Each structure stands twice: as C-alpha cells, then as structure tokens.
C-alpha cells in the first residue's frame, strides 16, 4: 500500500471534511422556535379562531419553523380585558379584541363605537384604513399594543328575554355592557341599568338574573349559545363592532425586521379573511339561534333608537377628538 506524503494527506482530509455535513450547517439560522401564545374567545368553528389557524399556516410557509402558534380557544385565558392585561405582562403574545375593551387604555377608540355612526362595513373600513385609523394605531402602540389589522365583527343588536321593540321597553332592565364608559352612557340614556360583566361570565349572569339583557353581534350570540338565556334579538344594529388583531409590544420588539414584515403582511391578510368569515358566519349563526328557540324582531321605529343614541356623540366628542373628527368619520 502506497503512503501519501503528509502534506497531501492533510490536504485530502481537508477536502473530505469540507463536503461532510457539519451540525451547524443543517440547522436554521435562528436558535430556537419561538412560541406565540394566542388567546381566542371562541371555538375552532368560529372566525375568532380560524383567523389564527390561517395566520399560523401562512407564516410557517414563509418562515418555516420560526414560530409555533399556541392557540388557546374558548376563552380559556379570560375575557378581552384579562387578555389585554396578560398581553401587557407578556404572558400572552397575540389576540383579537373589540376596540371597546381597549378603550380604557385608549379612550379615542370610542369613536369607532359611536352608535349609528357607521352605515355598513365598507364605511367602517374606509375610516380605519385612513388617517383616523393611523392615529388610533399610534395610541395603542403607546399602550404596548401593536395593531396588525382592524377587523369588523358585524353590527351589535339588542338581546333580551322578552321581545323589545322600543327604547321604552328596555327601561329599568339590567343590561350587561362592555366595561366601557360609552356603552354605559348609551344604555343609561334609554333608562336601562348597565352592569359591566366580562363576556366569558355573561351566560351565567343572564341565566341567574344578574342581568336581563345585553347587546352583541350575531356571530358571538350563537358562539356563546346566548339564545338559551336571551332568546329575543331586536335587530337594532346600533354599533358597528370593530376590533383589532394585535400583538404584545414586548414580543414584537424582539423580532427581526423580516419577521415583523411577514407577520404584518399575514396578519393584514388574516384581517380580510376574518371579515369574510364573519359575513358567512352571521347567516349561519342566525339559523342556529332560530333552530334553538331564538326569535328575531325589528324595532318599531329605528329613529327612536337613533335620536336617543346620537346624544352620545356630543357627550364623547371631547374624548374622541372633537366633533370635527366625528364629522370626518361620518362623511368618509
């Protein structure tokens, strides 16, 4: 057997080593998969959870193995306010929320909750994708919430145990409200008694008599099976329930520019997907409610409801940026 000179042997060894797969070469550039804990109020069959399944799949397709979305459904991590607090503490990284639930941190968000301000979903979309939306995003960022996109939950309608057709019919009833000054003021104007209760506790509150009524979107009405305790829905459509897809800033600040870009793009796409799902889900939700004893009613005179509700505009003008901003939103 011929012996190679030492120099040739070392050279050949180096070439051989160069083509062998080194442990570091086979691993991704990032050190580990990052877990994103996502809080969803409803189940797997509802838009609130479906949106995150789509975002997770699309992000993983673009950044394989970079993130693992731990989607916790059915309100297991609490109601909207509890989740928002967890976001600020960093124990939850992402969720959806109505703007109502976040208005305690950013009072200007109550502009989007003004009753009878928005004609339809397209009207709301024009407002949140313009200068007003940019300003609200900035306000949320100051409170450690990073907005990935605005969403439309649909219109809120009145839910009661007995049929209600006029504002006078609701007077004296205890109505569950979002823990928001605007919602409290709205129902007080009709003579109802507002009671702030987290959405995850609402069913029991209605069943036990702590509350007699509430308002909610059609999709969530069926999602929480509230037709079992408040079977009558009066289609007032008084508030367009807008919301956000958002992230905790403590999580967001630790991302690379590329990760932020991908998450931003896919979250924006997810918001559009959510809005489409809501339209479809509302129709199915109404059928679900009707098949379980729910009843639909039209208000006797929507003008009566409007006249009582729009007084809230004046009361909250100073909070939301003045009547000029309200007028701009109305005209969008």
Give tens-digit pLDDT for 160-211.
Answer: 999 999 999 999 999 999 888 999 999 999 999 999 999 999 999 999 999 9
- Among all chains, which residue has been given the structure tokens 């950044």? 63
pLDDT band at 310 (very low <50, low <70, confident <90, very high): confident
- With a cut of 50, say whether residue 238 has pLDDT above it: yes
- pLDDT above 90 covers what percent of the chain? 87
Q: pLDDT tens-digit profile of 36-87? A: 999 999 999 999 999 999 999 999 999 999 999 999 999 999 999 999 999 9
How far is residue 172 from each of residues 126, 168, 304, 308, 316, measured CA to CA in Å? 37, 9, 17, 16, 24
Nearest alpha-carbon partner for 190 in 173, 214, 178: 173
Q: Give residue 16's pLDDT.
A: 38
Rounded-to-integer distance, Cα 136 and Cα 80, Å: 18
pLDDT tens-digit series, residues 249-268 = 999 999 999 999 999 999 99
Please give the average per-residue pLDDT across 111-122, as a whole number: 96
322 to each of 66, 318, 326, 332, how far by Cα in Å?
Answer: 44, 5, 7, 16
Global pTM value: 0.85
Q: Where are the alpha helices (DSSP H) in the chain?
A: 6-19, 47-62, 80-89, 99-102, 121-128, 131-142, 167-170, 181-189, 202-208, 218-223, 249-252, 257-291, 302-309, 311-320, 323-331
> What is the 8-class DSSP label of residue 164?
-
Cβ 157 vs Cβ 218: under 8 Å: yes
- Where is 72: in which H helix or E strand? strand 67-72
Which pLDDT belongs to residue 102?
96
What's the pLDDT score for residue 22? 39
List of domains in the chain: 31-331 (3.40.190.170)
pLDDT at 180: 86
Q: Given the DSSP bridges, would you call strands 213-217 and 145-160 parallel, antiparallel or unpaired?
A: antiparallel
pLDDT given for residue 150 in this prediction? 98
Calculate the alpha carbon distances from 9 to 6, 13, 51 in Å. Answer: 5, 6, 59
CA distance 323 to 259: 39
First to last CA, the chain: 89
In three-state form (DSSP H/G/I as H, E/B as E, the rest C), the secondary structure along 289-320 is HHHCCCEEECCCCHHHHHHHHCHHHHHHHHHH
Q: Residues 218-231: pLDDT tens digits?
A: 999 999 999 999 99
Q: Is 291 exposed, middle or buried (0-12, 13-18, 19+ CB in 10 A)?
A: exposed
Dihedral-angle region of residue 136 (phi above 0 means left; psi in -120 to 50 means alpha; beta otherwise): alpha
Summarize the confidence of residues 148-160 as an average pLDDT: 97
- DSSP, collapsed to helix, strand or coil, labels residue 21 as coil
Instruction: Write down the pLDDT at residue 32.
Output: 84
Beta partners for residue 248, in sequence order = 145
Tell me the pLDDT tens digit for each residue of 264-302: 999 999 999 999 999 999 999 999 999 999 999 999 999
Q: In sequence order, which residues have a C-beta less than 8 Å from that of residue 64 and are 6 or more positions away?
A: 28
Q: State the chain's mean pLDDT as an integer.
A: 91
pLDDT greater than 80 at residue 20: no
pLDDT value, residue 21: 40
Q: Which residue has the tokens 């208000």?
A: 299
pLDDT at 15: 36
Confidence of residue 1 (pLDDT cuts 50, 70, 90): very low
User: What is the phi/psi pair of residue 124, to 5°?
Assistant: -60, -40
CA angle, 69 then 74 then 77, to 5°: 70
Distances (CA, A) of 176 to 64, 98, 183, 211: 44, 16, 10, 6
């Amino acid at each position: 057997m011929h012996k190679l000179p030492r120099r040739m042997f070392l050279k050949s060894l180096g070439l051989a080593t160069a083509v062998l797969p080194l442990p570091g070469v086979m691993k991704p550039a990032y050190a580990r998969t990052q877990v994103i804990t996502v809080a969803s109020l409803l189940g797997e069959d509802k838009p609130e959870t479906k949106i995150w399944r789509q975002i997770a799949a699309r992000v993983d397709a673009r950044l394989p193995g970079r993130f693992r979305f731990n989607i916790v459904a059915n309100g297991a991590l609490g109601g909207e306010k509890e989740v928002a607090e967890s976001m600020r503490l960093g124990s939850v990284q992402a969720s959806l929320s109505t703007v109502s639930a976040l208005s305690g941190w950013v009072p200007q968000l109550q502009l989007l909750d003004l009753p009878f301000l928005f004609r339809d979903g397209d009207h709301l979309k024009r407002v949140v994708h313009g200068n007003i939306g940019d300003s609200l995003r900035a306000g949320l960022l100051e409170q450690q919430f990073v907005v990935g996109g605005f969403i439309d939950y649909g219109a809120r309608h009145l839910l009661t145990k007995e049929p209600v057709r006029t504002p006078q019919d609701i007077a004296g009833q205890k109505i569950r409200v979002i823990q928001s000054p605007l919602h409290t003021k709205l129902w007080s104007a009709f003579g109802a008694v507002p009671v702030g209760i987290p959405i995850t506790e609402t069913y029991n509150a209605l069943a036990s008599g702590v509350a007699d009524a509430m308002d909610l979107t059609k999709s969530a009405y069926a999602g929480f099976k509230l037709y079992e305790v408040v079977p009558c829905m009066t289609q007032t459509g008084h508030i367009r329930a807008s919301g956000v897809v958002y992230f905790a800033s403590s999580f967001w600040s630790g991302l690379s520019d590329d990760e932020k870009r991908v998450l931003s793009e896919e979250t924006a796409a997810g918001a559009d997907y959510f809005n489409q799902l809501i339209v479809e889900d509302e129709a199915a939700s109404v059928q679900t409610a009707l098949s379980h004893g729910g009843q639909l009613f039209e208000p006797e005179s929507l003008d009566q409801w409007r006249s009582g509700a729009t007084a809230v505009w004046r009361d909250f003008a100073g909070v939301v940026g003045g009547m000029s901003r309200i007028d701009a939103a109305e005209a969008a």
